[in-house]
Amino acid sequence: MTTDAPTHRDRAAALDAADPLARFRSAFVDSAEVTAYLDGNSLGRPTRASAERLARFATDAWGARLIRGWDEEWYELPLRLGDRIGAVALGAAGGQTFVGDSTTVILYKLVRAALSSPRAAGRDEIVLDSGNFPTDRFVLEGVAREHGATLRWIAPGHDEGVTPAQVSAVLSDRTALVVLSHVAYRSGYVSDAAEITRRAHDAGALVLWDLCHSAGAVPVELDAWGADLAAGCTYKYLNGGPGSPAFGYVRAGLQDELVQPIQGWMGSDQPFEMGPAYAPHAGVRRFLSGTPAIVGMLAMQDMLDLVADAGLDAVRAKSVALTRFALELVDDLLVPLGARVASPRDDERRGSHVTVDHDAFADTLPLLWERGVIPDFRRPNGLRLGLSPLSTSFDEVRVGVEAVRDALVEVTGRDAA
């Protein structure tokens, strides 16, 4: 095994010493089994406040208040929390964001509603990209089949994402809906959402943004972009915990025009009347369906407080610094071993994770996990370093990338640089 590079250690120490957000690291639960957690873009660490909140909920809110909790707080929580997410992370005014269901279900509901809207009359094409997360592609394939719609595919570069020019090339008077990710799940490419939305609107199409790899780490301005619809998960940079419910956004001026396809009691106009027929509730509540997952909504509240305290611009600045340092380490330690950077080097176009490709990474991942270093792997050959700004230190990045180097040397038999 090669020795640590003092220059990397010294540089990490200097960056940590100068980090204005370093104080937030103590807000998260540590694991004695993990020396470098580089998968915050898949599952964020729990906050200490959330661990306490979850315990209190079982005895106080659930155990003591019981069914009275619905009248006292829980009924309004999906909308109150939606407004909080909108204000802290999405650039969205109140009354447009809700929490409930999984990302997959919310995507389905919003896509179906958009294609059935009056604005989509006479339009039968959906624009999407081949590099998007499987859920997005699978949902759109199924909805297109149901509606007899045609999918118009964009093929971004391996280490890139979708550009405005690529979108313009496939837009037409047949385009009903454009569905793209703001930050590409594999490469981390940040799309120019404002310009893409403008071009789609000029063509008469609606736009739905997937914000799973943006919310809480990369500034989002849904209202300023003029976005129509958005969806995103809460267990990555919003640290809501495994399977915490997703959020959806519907622009205020569009809400009355859309009919959501999964008509459940919690989205009806008088849910506790148990009436004979469905009528949609006014406003964004109509996009709820079944009983909200209240327990799943608890933990993200504390992370939203931390993001609000730090300020999203400061979070983004730390994210850029972390990924920039990770790229320096990758260039010094992994590229000489045959690795290839598969994320944008331009800070403006890079989200909060860095992907590195190597044909041996599938074999290195088990070694890394055994040693307490936790990145994730995306086929065919990509190792993702997901850096959650408030919980990740620069030295943690150093430890992690050096461990990747050591495992790669062990697996390939090549000498370290």
For 313-326, give one letter per residue: b (16+ CB within 10 A) or e: ebbbbbbbbbbebb
Q: Which of 287, 306, 325 is the last residue of a domain?
A: 306
For the chain, the domain total comes to 2
In a shared domain, residues 94 and 233: yes
Q: What is the structure's pLDDT at 1?
A: 45
Within a domain: 64: no
The answer, yes or no, to whether residue 4 has pLDDT greater than 80, is no
Read off the pLDDT of residues 381-400 as tens digits, 9 standing for 90 and up. 999 999 999 999 999 999 99
Closest CA to 207 of 182, 183, 188, 190: 182
Contact 88, 239 (CB under 8 A): no
Structure confidence by residue, pLDDT tens digits, 299-337: 999 999 999 999 999 999 999 999 999 999 999 999 999
80 band by pLDDT with thresholds 50, 70 and 90: very high
Question: By the 8 A CB rule, do 299 and 242 touch?
Answer: no
Bridge partner list, 384: 355, 376
Kindly state whether residues 287 and 175 are assigned to the same domain.
yes
Question: Is-contact 271 265, C-beta < 8 A?
Answer: yes
CA 120 to chain CA centroid, Å, is 27
CA dihedral 392, 240, 30, 331 (to 10 degrees): -30
CA-based nearest residue to 214, from 25, 48, 85, 379: 85
List the domain range (segments joined by +) for residue 96.
75-306
At residue 188, φ and ψ (nearest 5 deg) are 85, 10
Mean pLDDT of 212-224: 98
Residues 134, 83 share a domain: yes
Give pLDDT tens digits for 83-94. Answer: 999 999 999 999
Residues designated catalytic = 133, 210, 235-236, 384
- Whether 84 and 163 map to the same domain: the answer is yes
Q: To the nearest whole number, what is the mean pLDDT of the chain?
A: 96
**Residues 290, 318 within the same domain:** no
pTM to 2 decimals?
A: 0.96
CB-based contact 216:237 (threshold 8 Å): yes
- Of 159, 206, 204, 203, the C-alpha closest to 180 is 206
| Secondary structure of residue 1 in the 3-state scheme | coil
Residue 59 lies in a domain: no
pLDDT tens-place string over residues 180-192: 999 999 999 999 9
Same domain, 243 and 98: yes
**CATH number, domain at 252?**
3.40.640.10
Last residue of a domain, one of 306, 334, 349: 306
For the residues 47-74, what does the mean pLDDT come to?
97
Q: Which of 306, 333, 359 is the last residue of a domain?
A: 306
- Using CA atoms, how far apart are residues 315 and 88, in angstroms rounded to an integer? 12
Could you tell me the pLDDT band of residue 413, with boundaries at 50, 70 and 90? confident
pLDDT above 50 (res 354): yes
227 & 318 share domain? no
Do residues 201 and 128 both lie within one domain?
Answer: yes
User: Exposure of 270 by Cβ count < 10 A (0-12 exposed, 13-18 middle, 19+ buried)?
Assistant: exposed
Whether residues 361 and 259 fall in one domain = no
